[in-house]
C-alpha cells in the first residue's frame, strides 16, 4: 500500500471502524452501568441528591488546598496534560473540521504555533507522568501493563501529530495516516480501558455528590 492508500484507509474504513467501536463501546459501557441501578434512598434527605451530584461534577475538578499540597505533582501534571490534550484535540483547525463533519458545529481555531507549544508541553507532561508512575511507589504498586499501554496510546497521537506537523521521518500522507491511525487506536481503546473515565467520570462524580448531597455535605 502506498502512503496515500494508507491515508485513505485511515480516513475512511479505519475511521469508520474506530468510530463505531468508540461510540458503541461507550454507550454499552454507560448503559451497563446505569442498568445496574441503585436503590432508592429512604433516609430523610438534608439536601438534594441531584444538586449535590451536579455540583460535584464541577467542584471535583478543584482540589482542596490540603489535597493540593499532598498530591501536588499528580494534580499539576494532570491539569497540564488534560488542558494540553483539550487544546490540541479541540482547538487545532484540522481537528475542528473533523468534529464539524461529525456534529455540524464549528468554533475558532488557535494558531498552530500555540497548539504546537501545547503539544510539546503535553508530551513533556506525559513523560513526567510516566516517570512519576515508575518512581512513585503507590502508582507503581497500582499499575499493571494496561496502565502503561494506555499511557502509550495517549502519548502516541501527540507524537505522531507533532511529527506530521513538522514532517519528521515520513512523507506527508504517511505522517498524517500514522497520526490518524494512532488516534484510531486510542479511540478503540477508550471503551475498554481506564480511558473510559472521560465519559464515566460524570456518572462517578454525580453519584459521589448525590450521596453526600443527601447528607448536606458538599463533596
Partner 1 sequence: MSKATERATQVFKEQIDAPTAAFFSSCVSCGMCADACLFYTETGDPKYTPINKLAPLRKVWFQEYTLTGKLLKLAGISKPLTDQDLTDWEELVYDSCTMCGRCSMVCPVGNDIAYMIRKMREGFAASGHAPESLVGATRRAVEIGSPMGVKLPALQAQIRHLEEDTGLSIPMDVKGVEYLCMLSSMEIMNFPEYIGAIAKIFKHAGVSWTLSSEAFEATNSGIQIGVSEIAAELVQRIVDAAEKLKVNTVISPECGHAYTALRWEGPNLVGKRFDFEVKHILEVLDELRAAGKIKTKDKMSERLTYHDPCQIARRGGVLEQPRKLIREFSDNFVEMPDAGAMNWCCGAGGGVSSNERADEIRIKVFQRKKDQIDAVNPDALVSACSNCRIHIEDGLEEYHMELPVLSLTETLAEHLDDSVET
Partner 2 sequence: MEPVKSPMDLNPAVKSTGAQGETVGEALRRQGISRRGFLKFCATTASLMALPPTMIPRIAEALENARRPSVIWLSFQECTGCTESLTRSHAPTIEGLIFDAISLDYHHTLQAAAGDAAEAAREEAMKENYGNYVLVVDGSIPLGNPGYSTIAGVSNEDMLKEAAAGAAAIIAVGSCSAFGGLPNADPNPTGAVSVQEIITDKPVVNVPGCPPIPVVITGVLAHFLTFGGLPELDQLGRPVAFYGQSIHDRCYRRPFYDKGLFAETFDDEGARKGWCLYKLGCKGPTTYNACAVTKWNDGTSFPIEAGHPCLGCSEPKFWDAGGFYEALSTPTTDIARTAVYAVAAGAAAGVAAGALNKANKKRALSEHQTTTLDDLSPGT
Residue ranges in contact with partner 1 by CB under 8 A: 28-29, 32-39, 41-44, 46-47, 56-57, 60-61, 63-64, 66-67, 70-71, 74-75, 78, 136-143, 147, 192, 194, 196-197, 200-201, 203-209, 211-212, 214-219
- Please choose which of partner 1, partner 2, none residue 219 contacts, taking the beta carbon within 5 to 8 angstroms, the exact cut-off set by kind: partner 1
Q: Cα separation of 175 and 83, whole Å? A: 25
Query: In this complex, which beta carbon is closest to partner 1, that of residue 9 or of residue 207?
Result: 207
**51 makes contact with partner 2 (CB under 8 A):** no
Taking CB under 8 A as the binding criterion, the range among 60-68, 82-90, 91-99, 199-207 that sits at the site for partner 2 is 91-99
Q: Residue 70 phi/psi, 5° resolution?
A: -80, -35
Question: What minimum distance in Å lies between the beta carbon of 116 and partner 1?
Answer: 27
Query: In this complex, which beta carbon is closest to partner 1, that of residue 39 or of residue 101?
Result: 39
Question: What minimum distance in Å lies between the beta carbon of 118 and partner 1?
Answer: 21
**200 makes contact with partner 2 (CB under 8 A):** no
**69 makes contact with partner 2 (CB under 8 A):** no
What b/e string do you get for 1-21 counting C-beta neighbours within 10 Å, with b at 16 or more? eebeebbeebeeebbeebeeb
What b/e string do you get for 41-52 counting C-beta neighbours within 10 Å, with b at 16 or more? eeeeeebebeeb
Q: Cα separation of 72 and 12, whole Å? A: 43
Q: Which member of 83, 98, 128, 152 binds partner 2 (CB under 8 A)?
A: 98
Q: Cα separation of 142 and 194, whole Å? A: 13
Query: In this complex, which beta carbon is closest to partner 2, that of residue 24 or of residue 142?
Result: 24
Q: Mapping DSSP to helix (H, G, I), strand (E, B) and coil, where does residue 113 land?
A: helix
**Range 90-95 contact pairs with CB under 8 angstroms and sequence separation of 24 or more:** 91/115
- Please choose which of partner 2, partner 1, none residue 159 contacts, taking the beta carbon within 5 to 8 angstroms, the exact cut-off set by kind: none
> What's the CA dihedral at 80, 83, 89, 92 to 10 degrees?
-100
Amino acid at each position: 500500500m502506498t502512503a496515500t492508500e494508507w491515508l485513505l484507509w485511515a480516513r475512511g474504513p479505519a475511521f469508520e471502524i474506530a468510530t463505531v467501536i468508540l461510540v458503541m463501546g461507550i454507550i454499552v459501557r454507560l448503559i451497563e452501568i446505569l442498568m445496574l441501578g441503585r436503590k432508592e434512598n429512604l433516609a430523610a434527605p438534608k439536601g438534594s441528591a441531584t444538586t449535590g451530584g451536579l455540583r460535584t461534577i464541577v467542584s471535583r475538578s478543584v482540589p482542596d488546598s490540603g489535597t493540593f499540597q499532598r498530591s501536588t505533582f499528580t494534580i499539576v501534571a494532570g491539569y497540564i496534560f488534560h488542558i494540553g490534550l483539550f487544546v490540541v484535540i479541540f482547538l487545532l483547525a484540522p481537528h475542528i473540521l473533523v468534529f464539524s463533519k461529525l456534529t455540524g458545529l464549528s468554533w475558532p481555531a488557535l494558531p498552530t504555533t500555540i497548539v504546537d507549544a501545547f503539544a510539546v508541553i503535553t508530551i513533556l507532561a506525559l513523560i513526567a507522568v510516566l516517570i512519576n508512575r515508575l518512581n512513585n511507589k503507590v502508582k507503581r504498586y497500582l499499575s499493571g501493563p494496561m496502565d502503561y499501554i494506555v499511557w502509550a496510546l495517549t502519548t502516541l497521537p501527540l507524537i505522531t501529530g507533532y511529527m506530521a506537523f513538522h514532517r519528521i521521518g515520513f512523507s506527508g500522507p504517511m505522517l498524517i495516516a500514522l497520526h490518524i491511525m494512532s488516534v484510531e487506536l486510542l479511540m478503540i481503546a477508550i471503551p475498554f480501558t481506564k480511558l473510559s473515565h472521560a465519559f464515566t467520570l460524570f456518572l462517578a462524580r454525580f453519584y459521589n455528590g448525590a450521596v453526600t448531597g443527601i447528607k448536606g455535605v458538599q463533596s
